[in-house]
Amino acid sequence: MFLIKLSLKNLLRHKKRTIITAAIIAWAIFFYVTFDSFLLGMNDMVFQNIIDYEYGHVQVANQTYWNEKDELPLENLILNNQSINQSLTKIEGYQSHASQLNFQVRLNDGVNETPVIGRGINSNQTLSVLDYEQYLEEGEFFKPGEYKVVLGKRLTEVMNLSLGDYVTLLTRTESDTFNTIDAEIGGIINTPNPSINQNVVFVPLDIAQSALNIDNRVSHYIVKLNNKNFNSNIINSFQSTLNDQNNNLNVYSWRDLDEVSITKSKQAGNTMILLIVLTIAAIGIINIVILAALERMEEIGMMKALGLKENEIIFTFVAESTGIGILGGIFGIILGAVSVYFFSNFGLDFSMFIDIDMSTFGIPIVSKIYGVWNPWTFVYMFFFAIFGSMLASILPARWAAKKDPVDAIYRR
């Protein structure tokens, strides 16, 4: 108890030094907590964007197609029949579903040409799964059989197109012959998902199937369930149903998507960077313990002369560093809580600081980023600060405690 009291008093010996070291720890915690909150917020938004504007909760596709889906192949498509459509409605938590056909397109306005993704859809079905309707800025979605397309706003800006303009979609059929679709721009959408806004041209499904000469086949189905956090057993159960039908189809959760994995990898990378920041704080602790030990060498000698054991001397230094860790931890989580409260309520619009499009970095977010509360980060960081400070001080404290008493007393 007395040694704890001594350690606490030692904390006040060099107040400025204690405050600066605690401030480094507090800053590291504040930075980590705030960044973690943003990462979680960004992840949530990315996942929600992917679900709401691209993939729905569940996708059903041929396994071979799925593996090659980024190349937009016209092989291994699914015959859009009654049986599969009925099966989809039996997934637990089912709300709606839609079939889609993705294909390669070169969008031509008569002057310029750009490669984009053609997406054949049934408007009614797709709007029941994906949240496009409220982001339709001009015009409307097409009806089956209409030679109309819907483009993202960014794409119309790049191509300098307006509602009512005519465009030509150059594509290749399944047998690799060229074909075109001439269509009027019937609608312009501006969703929070930048990849939809700049890379996709929506075409009536029947028009696309006809132009590609693929009969009534589609790339995949997207399904909306009543809850994003559905149990993975639902997927397994539906996969069994599909296996029984022997149609070589697989079920994919939104969690399986490459974009989700990439986002998680980015988060892991960012966590590494943040751990480096915390390592700097640990170096601060090591530094302060070494400084304190050098300053108090005669005291250490006196303590050893009094008969204090090495472990007791180590304890006084470790307890002092732990005190700094507690101080830094408390200030850090208070600052972090203020920061997360602010950003979770008001968000952060990066365009305020720099004219930056987050999609440039592969992040499908165009609006503000909001922080997300993660209480475990606070708990974990608080204890990390305490245990980190404690652990960082052990080696230099051992070095000090192992000093020969005579050398310490006479500062040799």
Partner 1 sequence: MKLLSLKNVSKIYNQGKIEVPALRGVNLEIDTGEFTTVFGPSGSGKTTLLNIIGCLDKPTDGIIKFDGNNIADLDKSELAAIRRKNIGFVFQSYNLIPVLTAYENVEFAVKIVDHLTKKEIRERVLKMLSLVGLEGLEDRKPNELSGGQKQRVAIARALVKEPKLVLADEPSANLDSKTSEDVLEIMLKMNKELNTTFLFSTHDPLVMDYAQRKIEIKDGLISKDERREKVDVFN
Q: Interface residues with partner 1 (CB under 8 A)?
A: 2, 6, 9-10, 12-13, 298-299, 301-302, 304-310, 312, 404-406, 409-410
Contact 129, 53 (CB under 8 A): no
Residue 243: helix, strand or coil by DSSP?
helix
Smallest distance from the beta carbon of 12 to partner 1, in angstroms? 7
| Minimum separation from the CB atom of position 371 to partner 1 (A) | 41
Least Å from the CB of residue 316 to partner 1: 10
Structure token pair of residue 135:
């982001």
Q: How far is CA 64 from the centre of its chain?
A: 27
Nearer to partner 1, 157 or 312 (CB): 312
In whole angstroms, give the CA distance from residue 378 to residue 330.
10
Give the nearest distance from C-beta 294 to partner 1 in angstroms. Answer: 15
Give the shortest CB-19-to-partner 1 separation in angstroms: 16
* Neighbouring-strand partners of residue 182: 168
Least spacing, CB of residue 323 vs partner 1, in Å = 13
Q: Are 62 and 77 spatial neighbours (Cβ–Cβ below 8 Å)?
A: yes
CB of 375 to partner 1, least distance (A): 37
Nearest to 392 by CA among 297, 334, 328: 328
Q: Looking at beta carbons only, is 347 or 405 nearer to partner 1?
A: 405
- Minimal distance, residue 398 CB to partner 1, in Å: 14
15 or 360: whose CB is closer to partner 1?
15
Which is closer to partner 1, CB of 222 or CB of 324?
Answer: 324
In three-state secondary structure terms, 97 is strand
Asked whether 190 and 152 are in contact (CB, 8 A), the reply is yes
State which residue, 13 or 90, has the beta carbon closest to partner 1: 13
Nearest to partner 1 of 171, 316 (CB atom): 316
Is the separation of the CB atoms in 287 and 262 below 8 Å?
no
CA dist 254 and 15 (Å) reads 53
Report the DSSP beta bridge partners of residue 231: none
Helix axes 258-295, 375-401, angle to 10 degrees: 30
Secondary structure, 3-state, 13-67: CCHHHHHHHHHHHHHHHHHHHHHHHHHHHHHHHHHHHHHHHHHCCEEEEEHHHHH
Handedness of CA 104, 110, 114, 118 (dihedral sign): negative
* Nearest CB to partner 1, comparing residues 113 and 407: 407
Q: 411 and 298 in contact (C-beta within 8 Å)?
A: yes
For residue 273, the minimal CB distance to partner 1 (Å) is 38
Residue with smaller CB distance to partner 1, 297 or 372? 297
The residues, any chain, with a CB within 8 Å of residue 324's CB and separated by 6 or more, are 11, 18, 21, 22, 25, 285, 288, 389
How many other β-carbons are positioned within 10 Å of the β-carbon of residue 192? 18
* Residue 44 vs 312, nearer CB to partner 1: 312
